[in-house]
Amino acid sequence: MSTNVRVRFAPSPTGFLHIGSLRTALFDYLIARTLGGKLILRIEDTDKKRQMEGAVEGLINILAWAGIKFDEGPGYLRAVDNDTQADINKDVGEFGPYIQSQRLGIYKEHSQALLKKGGAYRCFCSPARLEEMRAEQQAQKMPPRYDRACRDLSERQIAKKIADGEIFVLRQKMPLSGEIIAHDELRGDIKFAARDLEDQVLIKSDGMPTYQFASVVDDHLMEISHVLRGEEWISSFPKNILLYQGFGWRPPKFIHLTLTLNKAGGKLSKRQGDVAVEDFRAMGYLPEALLNFCVLQGWHPSASAKAPADKKDEILSLDQMIEYFDYQDMGTSSAIFEIEKLDYFNGYYIRQKSVEALTKLCLPFLGENLKLTKDSRKQSEDYIKKVIALEQERLKKLSAIGELTEFMFTDDLRYEPKLLVWKKLTLEQVKENLQTVFELLEKISATDWTRSSIETALIGYIEAKQMKAGDYLWPLRAALTGRQSSSGPFEVAEVLGKEESLKRINVAIKKI
């Protein structure tokens, strides 16, 4: 094998990208970048029953949106670079094809080679026999496992079955005794008893390879140096190592990622909430937040000797991740998926955006709000930017901008009069206070209508009269927003403008 660092991300095109798969892709990316290597995208599409049309392009696009860039892979990568003149069917890199369904000849060649080496054998057992065998094993409370009925067939028996047209699969010939030692980069040597291993299927009856066979062949031929995968694959780890040994190949370094669990300690699933990256994108999560969240699901800068000693917060840009990351610092304890933490990161990155950039991101979520007004001013780019800036500090995900700002666009603000009441004030007192506010604000010219001038006028009056601020400011804010909670009344009034603000105060007075 080459001494070059080559890391692969190998998803199956069976639907959307799971948040756990994004975490794997990110760690693959970080290993490649921190070690000066290359990141390869390989599509494992041998399970045609589960494959979805357009899933390959969808995977590439969502990974590109998230910020994961590949050095080699299917030609679709060219489309991500907006190279419209390039042939998207032409691979990027010299180790292709990078789509497994295009490598069937390679798998056939290597399966035949393994047969000749004695590392595999043909199994002619019918599905009905296998089902009956498993049922009997389960009835006897034995682990369901192939009984190796075809393992020792003679060459003459094999030739006759083939001549009779019997279909077969190819199984890996496992050792019957002894111990297999497989080395994991995080866990060290892991020992497995050979007697516990099943002679797994390598090539199915239709000629398609299983994941276990195809991934080993591809990783060797593509000179992959590091394989990162979930810890659920540890049980098949010895089978992989034996397969490498059967071919006489040196295995890559294996790193088994811990599982990401929900708060109840179970695996993340669609039934319990959104788990697809596409869903998080649709809800208005930023790629920076998702990456920052994912990197902490199995690694932390506090464990890194590369990170500054005073690096106590968990805010990490992709560049900082590359600077601080070392895969040997990764943990082996399960990570817990906390949506509140993701919301925290997303809110942070939203606040770092310029108003212009954030407005562009929020526009797709404001369509319904813009239909609530016939006022061209409230539909203008300048007004929308001011509304976005008003809510930027409170915004945790982009999709919330619609609900947060609806009151800023509507021409018909609806709420119950009791919302205007502050503490023990009567409706008559509220009406008098709003009338006072109206008269004070009416004196401010439209050109001098700013948060500062509004605040000066109202607070100056309240202090001079030695009144309570809440008796005036709560009714004002309720009149302007129709909400129990919102941004402050001075900021809201400034963005609404003098005419709209006075109109809303007047409507509130009439409600009473």
Q: Which residue has the tokens 């005073």?
A: 310
505/498 Cα distance (integer angstroms): 11
362 is in an annotated binding site: no
The token duo for 464 is: 């001079």
Q: Report residue 424 as tokens.
A: 């023990």
123 marked as part of a ligand binding site? yes
Instruction: Point out the catalytic residue in the list 108, 117, 263, 270.
Output: 270
Q: Give yes or no: 270 in active site.
A: yes
Give 351-397 as a DSSP string: HHS-HHHHHHHHGGG-HHHHTT---GGGGSHHHHHHHHHHHTTT-SS
What's CA 307's distance to the chain center, in Å?
25
b/e string for 434-451 if b means 16 or more Cβ within 10 A?
Answer: bebbbebbeebeeeebee
Relative to beta strand 6-9, strand 38-41 is parallel
294 marked ligand binding residue:
no
Beta-carbon contacts of residue 416 (< 8 Å; ≥ 6 apart):
none
Say which DSSP state 191 is in.
E
CA distance 22 to 25: 5
> If 0-12 CB within 10 Å is exposed, 13-18 middle and 19+ buried, where does residue 78 land?
buried
Q: Which of 348, 397, 229, 226 lies closest to 298, judged by CA?
A: 229
Place of tokens 């005794």: 177
Annotated binding site for ATP: 270
Annotated binding site: 123, 125, 150, 152, 270
Annotated binding site for Zn(2+): 123, 125, 150, 152
Give me the active site residues, please. 270
